[in-house]
Amino acid sequence: MAEWFGDNSGLLGLALLDGLASAGLIFLVAVGLNLVFGVLRIINVAHGSLYAIGAYAAASVGIFFASAGLPAWASLPALVVAAALVGGILGPLIERLVLRRIYGQEEVLQLLVTFALFMILEDVQKLIWGVQPVQHDLAMRLLGTYDVPFAGDVVPFTAYQLFVLPGVALVVLVGLAWFLRRTLTGRVIVAVTTDREAATAMGIDARRVFLLTFTFGAMLAALGGALSSPTGAIVPGIGAQTIVLSFAVVATAGLGQTEGAALTALMIGLGRSIAVYFEPELEVVVPYIIMVAVLLVRPQGLFGSTVARRI
Amino acid sequence: MRRGETLLGLLGAAALMAAALLAPWLKFILTVALAKGIAVIGILLLLRAGQVSFGHALYVAMGAYTVAFLAPAMPDAAVLLPAGAAIATLTGLLIGLFVSRYREIFFGMLNLALSMVVYSLLEKLYDLTKGTDGIRVELPRFFGMALDRPGFEWAMFATALVLALAAGAFARLYLDSPMGQALSAIKTRETRLEFMGISARRVLLAAYVLSALLGGVAGAIIGMTTRHVTPLLAYWTASGELVFIAILGGAGSVLGPFLGAVTFELVRIYAGAAVADAWQMILGGVLLAVILFAPGGLWGMIAGLLRRRAGAAS
């Protein structure tokens, strides 16, 4: 065992760093999905499409900024601008035009409606950005690489994946905790999550909270996508992958758990990247093995609590 | 209404037969449509319990891949069809034991996740499955008879038609039986079912295994008809199609799935090729429209028309 670690320390180091970076992205998407579910009680299957559209839009905005002659550092804010645009436009549009019609309906119907949205958005991506891989990695090249000392080895790693991705995830985690606990808007959201009826009776406009939360969740998904775009080519199908993966995180952590989602994202991100380096065939399967294993033992998720059954 | 359903079912079967005889090129499309309808009957059973699976293409793929793997050794439809159904049923039992503990979003997404796992395995284990190239299936015999291509296609069409009628009749009986009534109870209030001493999990598991069986039958027919089996059969879009057909056709009748499947396949042949890039978008749009504005689906519209007729006549 010790010998194996010695022989593979370089690979293992890379796997850990990669896992940390991808965990950051998965967390951003999963926490948005979680937040929307908490308030609207709808699992938005189209959440993965928002991630994909965020990624495509970030590449487009990045290319536009570069062609407009803006300096290279502008490629970093370009990512955030793209995410805000996608979330800010698509979020309210989806909530107002579609979701608003199905609040309080059967859960199957809500699920089917967001699935229909997912199908529509999947082709919207193909119509706008085509099916060829899209790539724009200026933001990642800009920051260069950083040599990480690891178990006597030196692992060169891109600074973008090393600092920006986990950093943003950490900022979102802390910021969200502060926002939900310390600000008025945040507390209103928590109130609606806990008891919609009581909150409405206290004079909270639940519909406005729904709109706000959904837009915010959409922005988080788009931000995850935008931040992922410099790290590789964007191809059709990432939307489906992302929704399933982030659902796996949310289900494993337990619905409604923000901090739990962060830990689970870390676990699944690391598991996946270790698989990439040592058993590449298993990469796609690892998150689900983790999810199924956890759900078999704890059906309510690692950090979830059981809900009393209605009679 | 029940007798009307049987009559309409037989009339529909006769109409499909006539269409295939008049326009032989239609029989390939109709065979695939009937097969999908059989798989959608399974979705219908689960919908009755208020559950929707986004991963049932998994069982269609199981049936089809069983055909592809077994065909070189035992090239006879009489072996391949039951084998495909059996493998899918076993897989369904295994997965069902796990997913029948979950409801609603968990049920839907766990099925989606598992089908994505199988899809990636089919795609990545190239030595076994030839990856995205897929496997070609040689023309099998039909109950010992070595038929030529058109002959075999006719045989498959007839098989699909007979099995579709059987699946529809079976689903009708099942939904009317206590097991079927218990399924609806899962949708309304599961706890009350358990108070009566009935295990909701077992009720759902039974329906789930049946739906896997129906998916396997559909997959075996599709495998032997298209004679080219690829991982795309298990992709989420294929599962989405099954759910789409169920909603389009209408969940109120066992005829809905076939009505939906035939409409779907015919529209896809003509419109799907013209707008290949926007096909999912159109499906999603129609799905939204049906859910928001015509919850009964095609069957609901037809039943409404018939009822109005009957009302006007009396």
pLDDT for position A6: 63
pLDDT level of residue A308 (50, 70, 90 thresholds): low
Predicted confidence band at B313 (pLDDT cuts at 50, 70, 90)?
Answer: low
**For A111, nearest residue in chain B (alpha carbons):** B105
What are the structure tokens assigned to B145, written together? Answer: 């008879």
Quick one: which of A7, A241, A84, A21 has its CA closest to B115? A241
The DSSP symbol for A310 reads P
Across the interface, whether the CB atoms of A310 and B243 are under 8 A apart is answered no
C-alpha angle with apex B121: B119 to B127, nearest 5 degrees? 125
Best residue in B51, B56, B105 to probe A by mutation, most A CBs within 10 Å? Answer: B105
Dmax over Cα atoms in chain B, in whole Å? 67
Q: Do A112 and B281 touch (CB under 8 A)?
A: no
What local confidence, expressed as pLDDT, does residue A299 receive? 76
Check residue A2 and give its pLDDT. Answer: 62
State mean pLDDT over A20-29.
90
**Are A109 and B291 inside 8 Å of each other by CB?**
yes
Range of lowest pLDDT (A210-224, B29-43, B147-161):
B147-161
Average of per-residue pLDDT across A166-173: 90
**Would you call B120 and A101 a contact, using CB atoms and an 8 Å cutoff?**
no
Residue range A270-284, pLDDT digits in tens:
988 888 888 877 777
pLDDT the model gives residue A150? 67
CA atoms within 13 A on the CB side of A131: 5
* Nearest residue in chain B measured CA to CA from A46: B284
Percent of chain B with pLDDT over 70: 98
Question: What's the pLDDT score for residue B93?
Answer: 93
Residues in chain B closer than 8 A to A101 (CB atoms): 292
pLDDT at B203 over 80: yes
Mean pLDDT of chain B: 86
Q: Of A151-155, A285-289, B3-7, B287-291, which gets the smallest average pLDDT?
A: A151-155
A·B CB contacts under 8 A: 113
C-alpha–C-alpha distance, residues A19 and A265, integer Å:
9
For residues A91-108, give the mean pLDDT. Answer: 87
| Residue of B95, B291, B292 to mutate, interface with A, max A Cβ within 10 Å | B291
B288, B292, B293: which to substitute to probe chain A, counting the most A Cβ within 10 Å?
B288
Closest to B96 (Cα-Cα) out of B84, B82, B114? B114
The interface predicted TM-score of the complex, written ipTM, equals 0.81
pLDDT at A307: 61
> A246-295 pLDDT, tens per residue?
888 888 888 777 888 889 999 999 988 888 888 877 777 888 888 888 88
Residues B128-166: tens digit of each pLDDT: 788 778 788 888 888 878 778 888 888 889 899 999 999
Mean pLDDT score, A186-201: 87
Residue A56: is its pLDDT beyond 70? yes
Residue A311 has pLDDT above 70, yes or no: no
Percent of chain A with pLDDT over 90: 21
pLDDT of residue B117: 85
With H, G, I as helix, E, B as strand and everything else as coil, classify residue B145. Answer: strand
A299/B101 CB distance under 8 A = yes
Partner-chain residue, chosen from A108, A113, A311, that has the shortest CB–CB distance to B191: A311
Question: Exposed, middle or buried by CB within 10 Å (0-12, 13-18, 19+), for B200?
Answer: buried
Are the Cβ atoms of A299 and B102 closer than 8 angstroms?
A: yes
Residue A152 pLDDT more than 70? no
